[in-house]
Amino acid sequence: MRIAKQDDFRRIAFARKADYLAGSFLCLLASGLSFILKLFSPAGKGSAAVRKVLFVKFTELGAIILAYPLMKQVKDRYPSADLFFVTFKRNKDVFSVLGGIIPPGNILVIRETTAGFFLDAFSAIRRLRREKIDIVFDLEFFSRFSAVFSFLTGAKKISGFYRYCLEGLYRGSFITHKMQYNPFLHIAKNYLSFGFAVLRDEKTSPCLEQKIDSGMLVFPRYHSKDGTKQGLLMKLKDSCPGFTEGESRIFIINPGEGTLPLREWPVENFICLAEFILEDERNYIVIAGTGAASSRAGIILKRVNSPRCLDMVSRTSVEELMELFLVSEALISNDCGLAHLAALTPVKKFILFGPESPDVFGPLAGECYPLYSGWDCSPCLSVFSHRSCACEDNLCLKAIKPADVYCLIMEKTGEGKDAR
């Protein structure tokens, strides 16, 4: 697992470097080409019918969920329009719990290997040009490649983040509806502002002329499916014969994947918290997450050494995971996509924040209790710094003590116990 993590770090570092070197040049080239095209075929004004709309978000499953209010706004405004989405292959399954807002055939996936990335991106651009996309919403945070990808679709309108007077990243001048990223506003509101901006012929100033109310941020609710629920319960009973539906209490833990260590609560703290929870014989711990979480899950399982601590990392489909949320008391997790998935269900969420702020990236639906130390140096992992930070020790997360987390969980789940 250590080698896998090193490979992840190298891949992220390479992507940042490529985006900086090749991306800047391609944005400049696209800007020049856009200028020439406008000279010979000026864009028409007026309210032409919107038939096809594309959303681009390669990374971050959680951000895709937070873009749902924008997708719904667009679908409500243009009910006959076809919606498309481009994302990495590993994010495709999340659309199965988003109410079918993007038809399966319109989800274009891109592999994360170097060769696969360029082959799939080229294939996606070819299809999107044939589709004749009217509007592109580039939901990436200042990625130059996503901006160039949006330009190559040939869309009439492109809405994406733009630096204006901020010290953000150069993304060219071809974005027709330039949105100023607001680091003090929740990202779901940042995204929703895109939908209002494209009502104009173009947008070349930071102002929006409209307030985004929290009531506009609507999310779908996941509804249990008997077959999926019974399959999940069977897995739980097979893994732990003592588990009894209706009597046993499940607490889900997602310990992190090691890709961004600064955002992750120490594994020792998760171990301590699990031991507190398991003092009650009715309680069970289920460790959930993607395959990358298996290393930290293995450490917790070995140290806790309890038959009531179960490993379900990579053993559930997205829909089974949603059913797990429905039958559980709580989710305890670092800030990650799993927290936003859980927000589509009523499960109580206890989400740990340190170098990033819950005011900007916290789950918005359901019962959520952010645990945030609020140190003066936080948030330090910024969109403007590509989520890089000079800090090598996340003291802001370590300041959140397992006993305090346990007491809050017990209070909110109806137990009201103190940690010993």
Query: Residue 418: is its pLDDT beyond 80?
Result: no
Q: Are residues 146 and 234 in the same domain?
A: no
Looking at the structure, tell me whether residues 293 and 204 fall in a common domain. no
CB-neighbour burial class of residue 24 (10 A; exposed 0-12, middle 13-18, buried 19+): middle
181 & 261 share domain = no
> Is pLDDT above 90 for 378?
no
Looking at the predicted structure, is the pLDDT value of residue 167 above 90?
no
* Residue 70 confidence class, pLDDT cut points 50, 70, 90: very high
Please write the tens of the pLDDT for every residue from 215-273: 999 999 999 999 999 999 998 988 887 888 888 999 999 998 777 788 899 999 999 99
Q: Using alpha carbons, select from 69, 202, 201, 206 the residue that is nearest to residue 139.
A: 69
Across 91-115, average pLDDT: 94
CB 73, CB 192: distance < 8 Å: yes
Of the pLDDT bands very low, low, confident and very high (cuts 50, 70, 90), residue 10 is: low
Q: Which amino acid is at 205?
A: S
Q: Is residue 297 domain-shared with residue 186, that is, in the same domain?
A: no
Task: State yes or no: pLDDT of 155 exceeds 90.
Answer: yes
* Structural domains of the chain, count: 2
Instruction: State the average pLDDT over residues 365-369.
Output: 90
What number is the average pLDDT over the span 13-25? 80
**Run of H or E including 412:** helix 402-412
User: What integer is the mean pLDDT of 127-154?
Assistant: 95
- Which pLDDT band holds residue 165 (cuts at 50, 70, 90)? confident
pLDDT of residue 347: 96
Same domain, 177 and 250: no
Domain stop point among 198, 216, 234: 216
Q: Same domain, yes or no, for 246 and 310?
A: yes
Go through 63-89 and write b for each residue having 16 or more CB atoms within 10 A of its CB, e for each that does not. bbbbbbbbbbbbbeebeebbbbbbbbe
Q: Is 192 part of any domain? A: yes
Q: Which residue has the higher pLDDT, 40 or 375?
A: 375
Assess whether 234 and 353 both reside in one domain.
yes
Distance CA 370, CA 379 (A): 14
Question: How many angstroms separate the CA atoms of 128 and 226, rounded?
Answer: 38
Mean pLDDT confidence for 96-105: 95
Residue 239 vs residues 67, 86, 307, 377, 395: alpha-carbon distances, Å: 36, 37, 9, 43, 36
| Element containing residue 250 per DSSP (H, E) | strand 249-254
As a whole number of angstroms, the distance between CA 304 and CA 143 comes to 42
**Cβ–Cβ under 8 Å, residues 274 and 309:** yes
Cα–Cα distance, 350 to 333 (Å, whole number): 7
State whether 102 and 150 are in the same domain. yes
**Is residue 30 domain-resident?**
no
Nearest to 353 by CA among 339, 336, 371: 371
Would 1 be classed as within a structural domain? no
Is residue 338 within 8 Å of 254, Cβ to Cβ? yes
> What is the pLDDT, as a whole number, of residue 270?
97
Q: Are residues 106 and 245 in the same domain?
A: no
In a domain, 112, yes or no: yes
Max mean pLDDT range (109-118, 131-140, 228-237)? 131-140
Domain boundary residue, one of 194, 216, 238: 216
Q: What pLDDT is recorded for position 3?
A: 38
Residues 257 and 202 in one domain: no
292 and 209 co-located in one domain: no
In angstroms, the CA 74 to CA 324 distance is 31
- Judge whether 237 lies within some domain: yes
- 11 domain residue, yes or no: no
Expressed in angstroms, the distance from the first to the final Cα of the chain is: 34
pLDDT of residue 286: 96
Q: Are residues 266 and 210 in the same domain?
A: no
Element (H, E) at 13: helix 2-40
Report the CATH number that the domain containing residue 160 is assigned in CATH.
Answer: 3.40.50.2000
Domain that holds residue 104: 50-216
Q: What is the pLDDT, as a whole number, of residue 412?
A: 94
**Can you tell me the distance from the alpha carbon of 284 to that of 304, in angstroms, rounded to the nearest whole number?**
12
Task: Determine the average pLDDT of the residues in 6-18.
Answer: 64
Query: How sure is the predictor about 398, in pLDDT bands with cuts at 50, 70 and 90?
Result: very high
* pLDDT attached to residue 208: 83
Given a cut of 50, is residue 2 above it in pLDDT? no
Domain boundary among 216, 237, 259: 216
**Strand-by-strand arrangement of the 52-56 sheet:** 107-110, 82-88, 52-56, 135-138, 157-162, 177-180
The arithmetic mean of pLDDT across residues 76-83, rounded, is 96
Helix residue spans in 41-160 (DSSP H): 61-66, 68-77, 114-131, 144-152
Percentage of the chain with pLDDT > 90?
Answer: 65
Whether 420 is in a domain gets the answer: no
For residue 13, being part of any structural domain is answered with no
Query: What percentage of residues in the chain have a pLDDT greater than 70?
Result: 93
Note the pLDDT of residue 47. Answer: 56
How do residues 297-356 score in pLDDT, each as one tens digit?
999 999 999 999 999 998 889 999 999 999 999 999 999 999 999 999 999 999 999 888
Confidence of residue 4 (pLDDT cuts 50, 70, 90): very low
